[in-house]
């Protein structure tokens, strides 16, 4: 996951370099053309008769369904349930991940012994743990919270552990000279230096806790956006189902953007300057 994040960031960074005005307009025109082409493909495929009627509803119907959803009280109840699950699982997973990452990164032997467990468990499909979590926590929100938290834990722990190892030993020695306690060292040296891995971990963590919570809602739940999409699927109300999916994607990218914009704790530049 971290590798993907780097791929994504690297590529978008190179794509976002300062460009001459004419190039900017060419790229913008290409993007608009691409978006129109994708919409046209969708509409033509829907009308072509290649698929069963109603399988690919027109974007007009999807927009209508979105409007209806956004003006219904029931939708906000499901949104509240999913938001609660995602936020709590995100907080639990990321907090645990940060603590474990700090321990693994700062203590070499502990890291050598235990980090391979996390490293190799991280890319396994977490959804398969859902039956165990359903047995342990029931079909309500807590099994979803548990799965979301497990999902968010791994990238956070690995990112923080790697980040801790990159903290300059000079800073740690300065801390020792000032007789800082462990908590002070974490707060005053590790955390400021860890802003980039924390921000990345939080972004990946949020993304996959959303996936964890929603997938478990799809499988077995009593409320939530995943449950709602599942219900629309079973009723073959495809426009409504797609409207829920579009809203989920918009909310997920909104959360991603918010973290990217606001996770700027004490200036990382200060720490970089000391390296």
Binding residues for another protein (CB under 8 A)? 3-5, 7-12, 14-16, 19, 23, 26-27, 30-31, 34, 51, 55-56, 109, 112-114, 116-117, 120-121, 123-125, 127-132, 134-136, 203-204, 207-208, 210-211, 214-215, 218-219, 226, 229-230, 233, 236, 238, 241-242, 245, 248-249, 252-253, 256
Among residues 118 and 160, whose Cβ is nearest to another protein? 118
Among residues 122 and 191, whose Cβ is nearest to another protein? 122
In the bound complex, what is the minimum distance in angstroms from residue 214's beta carbon to another protein?
6
In the bound complex, what is the minimum distance in angstroms from residue 122's beta carbon to another protein?
9
Residues 6+ positions from 106 with CB-CB distance below 8 Å: 164, 190
Report how far residue 154's alpha carbon sits from residue 162's, in angstroms, rounded to the nearest whole number: 12
Among residues 92 and 244, whose Cβ is nearest to another protein? 244
Among residues 188 and 260, whose Cβ is nearest to another protein? 260
Residues 6+ positions from 79 with CB-CB distance below 8 Å: 225
Q: Between the CA atoms of 189, 191, 192 and 198, what dihedral angle is there, to the nearest 10 degrees?
A: 150
In the bound complex, what is the minimum distance in angstroms from residue 218's beta carbon to another protein?
6
In the bound complex, what is the minimum distance in angstroms from residue 226's beta carbon to another protein?
8
Among residues 97 and 155, whose Cβ is nearest to another protein? 155
What sections of the chain are H helices per DSSP?
A: 2-15, 21-47, 59-70, 73-106, 108-121, 130-137, 141-165, 169-177, 182-185, 191-193, 195-219, 225-234, 238-262, 268-274
Closest CA to 220 of 139, 141, 142, 145: 139
In the bound complex, what is the minimum distance in angstroms from residue 75's beta carbon to another protein?
17
Supply 2's token pair: 């971290």
Q: Count Cβ atoms below 10 Å from residue 129 Cβ, excluding itself.
A: 18
Among residues 124 and 272, whose Cβ is nearest to another protein? 124
In the bound complex, what is the minimum distance in angstroms from residue 6's beta carbon to another protein?
10
Supply 3's token pair: 């590798």
Among residues 15 and 183, whose Cβ is nearest to another protein? 15
In the bound complex, what is the minimum distance in angstroms from residue 188's beta carbon to another protein?
25
Report how far residue 233's alpha carbon sits from residue 241's, in angstroms, rounded to the nearest whole number: 6
Closest CA to 158 of 2, 4, 42, 263: 2
């Amino acid at each position: 996951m971290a590798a993907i994040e780097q791929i994504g960031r690297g590529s978008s960074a190179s794509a976002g370099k300062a460009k001459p005005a004419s190039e900017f307009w060419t790229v913008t025109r290409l993007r608009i053309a691409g978006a129109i082409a994708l919409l046209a493909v969708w509409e033509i495929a829907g009308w072509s008769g290649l698929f069963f009627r109603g399988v690919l509803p027109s974007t007009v119907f999807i927009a209508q369904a979105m409007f209806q959803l956004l003006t219904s009280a029931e939708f906000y109840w499901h949104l509240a349930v999913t938001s609660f699950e995602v936020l709590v699982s995100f907080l639990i997973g990321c907090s645990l991940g940060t603590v474990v990452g700090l321990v693994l990164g700062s203590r070499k032997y502990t890291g050598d012994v235990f980090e391979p467990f996390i490293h190799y468990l991280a890319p396994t499909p977490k959804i398969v743990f859902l039956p165990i979590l359903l047995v342990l926590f029931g079909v309500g929100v807590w099994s979803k919270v548990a799965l979301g938290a497990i999902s968010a834990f791994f990238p956070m722990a690995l990112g923080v552990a790697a980040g801790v190892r990159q903290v300059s030993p000079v800073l740690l020695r300065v801390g020792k000279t000032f007789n800082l306690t462990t908590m002070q060292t974490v707060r005053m040296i590790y955390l400021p230096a860890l802003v980039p891995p924390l921000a990345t971990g939080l972004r990946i963590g949020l993304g996959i806790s959303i996936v964890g919570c929603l997938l478990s809602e799809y499988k077995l739940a009593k409320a939530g956006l995943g449950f709602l999409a599942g219900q629309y699927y079973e009723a073959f109300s495809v426009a409504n189902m797609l409207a829920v999916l579009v809203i989920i994607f918009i909310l997920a990218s909104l959360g991603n953007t918010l973290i990217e914009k606001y996770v700027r704790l004490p200036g990382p530049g200060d720490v970089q300057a000391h390296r």
